[in-house]
Amino acid sequence: MRKKVTLITGASGEVGTALVERLAAEGNRRILAMDVHPEPDNIKGMSTFLQADILDKNLFSRLVAEYEIETIYHLAALLSTRAEFTPETAHRVNVEGTMMLLQMAAEQSAWRGEPVLFMFPSSIAVYGLPDLDTKQRYSRVREWEWNYPTTMYGCNKLYGEMLGSYFNKNYRQLAAERPITLDFRSVRYPGLISAFTVPTGGTSDYASEMIHAAAQNKPYTCFVREGLTIPFMAMPDAVDSILDLANAPRENLRHQVYNVGAFSISAGDIRDLVVKAFPGTEVTFEPDLKRQNIAESWPIDVDDSAARRDWGWEPKFDAVRTFTEYLIPNIKKRYQ
Ligand code: AKB
């Protein structure tokens, strides 16, 4: 008898560790966590952990022989800055890895006679605003607007959304009898900020880097200009949003892919909140124009009215609450 599991890829990453912790605390499912990196200490013992590469073709045949995969949170990805240094590797991990998992999920769905739930975190990197005027004019973009990514990561995420929707709605559409296929759902995350981890490889990383540096009494040089504004979200809201969408009744969902927003903030405003929390903090701005251009192509904010209407999305943390109730107390404890 195969063991029923929820599979989490990219489990050692920022969202991955937070999600493993949350699902383990709920305690009502067996978690199979995997990552190419080792298991972080803070989630040890919470799952069956597999250090493995999602591009390993034999891995999935071994997995389905042992496990019945009910739900997949496919978090493994190379983020926007990292992907620009190794675009071919990014394409392999972000696209080919996703394709292999989707195929496996489709086969599992047909075999079980019940859809595998496939959760896919996407990103504001799927947007590409051509210039600052347009960015100002379309300050709250809707899901279908400005889907012209300028990065390999953004292209990969946009295609991942499309592939997932294809598997959900049209996979094997010409077969005499269309098999039961997967249930694909995706949230487009803004920049994420965690009190417990510092991201690597992203372009929105300056927010987290600034906060964690200040908490350690270290000066920070920000690689984007003070006025650059994009949407951000606190990690607990990021985990809530993907779980809320996973738990929403299928019949309420009019889309496969949803924007989720929390607050929109400039790098200068983040600096002000950081300085208020950690007086004496030294933050300077020395834009790296290439990285700044990437963040500049992302919208000021997202319109998440579809998520609010279809599955009741509502963030708990605005900018001030993110700092006062989530980041500052937890970060202070962490670096004490
Ligand atoms: C990145 O900066 O690449 C990510 C993202 C916005 O998806 N944090």
The closest residue, in CA terms, to atom 4 on ligand 1 is 202
Give 158: exposed, middle or buried? Use CB within 10 Å, 0-12, 13-18, 19+: buried
Residue 290 has a pLDDT of 98
- What spacing in Å lies between the alpha carbon of 294 and ligand 1's midpoint? 10
- Spatial distance between the Cα atoms of 315 and 120, rounded to a whole number of angstroms: 19
Q: Say if ligand 1 is within 6 A of residue 78 CB.
A: no
Axis crossing angle, helix 97-112 with helix 57-66, rounded to the nearest 10: 30
Strand partners, 51: 35
> Are residues 304 and 261 in contact, defined by beta-carbon separation less than 8 angstroms?
yes
Q: 223, 303, 298: which is closest to 260 by C-alpha?
A: 303
- Cα–Cα distance for residue pair 319/63, rounded to 1 Å: 41
Give the tokens for residue 169: 């709605």
3 state DSSP class of 141: strand
Query: Measured between alpha carbons, how far is residue 220 from residues 270, 279, 280, 281 in Å?
Result: 12, 14, 12, 8
CA-CA distances (angstroms) from residue 149 to 45, 130, 247?
A: 39, 10, 29
**Distance from the CA of 278 to the center of ligand 1, in angstroms?**
25
**What is the average per-residue pLDDT within 219-241?**
98
Please provide the size of the chain in residues. 336
Across the strands, what pairs with 103?
Answer: none
pLDDT at position 203 is 98
Q: Relative to the CA of 192, which ligand 1 atom is closest? A: 8
Burial of 60 (0-12, 13-18, 19+ CB in 10 A): buried
Provide CB contacts within 8 A for 175, sequence distance 6+. none
> Residue 336: what pLDDT?
79
Out of 189, 265, 294, mutate this one to test ligand 1's pocket (max ligand atoms within 8 Å of CB): namely: 189
Higher-confidence residue: 61 or 190? Answer: 190
123 touches ligand 1 (CB under 6 Å): yes
Q: Residue 252 CA to chain centroid, in angstroms?
A: 23
Ligand 1 within 6 A of CB of 80: yes
pLDDT of residue 142: 98
| Residue 291 alpha carbon to ligand 1 centre in Å | 12
**For residue 160, which phi and psi values (nearest 5 degrees)?**
-60, -40
Ligand 1 site, residue 194, Cβ cutoff 6 A: no
Which conformational region is residue 181 in: left (phi greater than 0), alpha (psi within -120 to 50 degrees), or beta? Answer: beta
If pLDDT is split at 50, 70 and 90, which confidence band does 174 have? very high
Find the 18 Cα to ligand 1 centroid distance in Å: 17
Q: From CA 1, how far away is CA 29, in angstroms rounded?
A: 16
> For residue 171, what are its two tokens?
């996979």
Look at residue 1 and tell me whether its pLDDT is greater than 90.
no
CA of 23 to the centre of ligand 1 (A): 23
Cβ contact 26:93 at 8 Å: no
Q: Which domains does the chain have, with CATH numbers?
A: 3-190+234-259 (3.40.50.720), 192-231+263-300+316-335 (3.90.25)
DSSP state of 326: I
pLDDT of residue 225: 98
Residue range 83-120, pLDDT digits in tens: 999 999 999 999 999 999 999 999 999 999 999 999 99
- In this predicted model, what pLDDT tens digit does every residue of 62-88 receive, in sequence order? 999 999 999 999 999 999 999 999 999
Task: Determine which of 53-67, 162-176, 215-229 has the lowest per-residue pLDDT on average.
Answer: 53-67
Both tokens assigned to 52:
């493995």
257-284 pLDDT tens trace:
999 999 999 999 999 999 999 999 999 9
Of 334, 330, 173, nearest to 236 by C-alpha is 330
Report whether pLDDT(57) > 90.
no
Average pLDDT, the chain: 97
Tell me the backbone φ, ψ of residue 209, rounded to 5 degrees. -60, -40
Residue 202 CB–ligand 1 contact under 6 Å: yes
Matching residue, tokens 């969408």: 245
- For ligand 1, what atom is nearest to the CA of residue 151? 3
Locate 324 and state its tokens. 């006062």
- Report pTM: 0.97
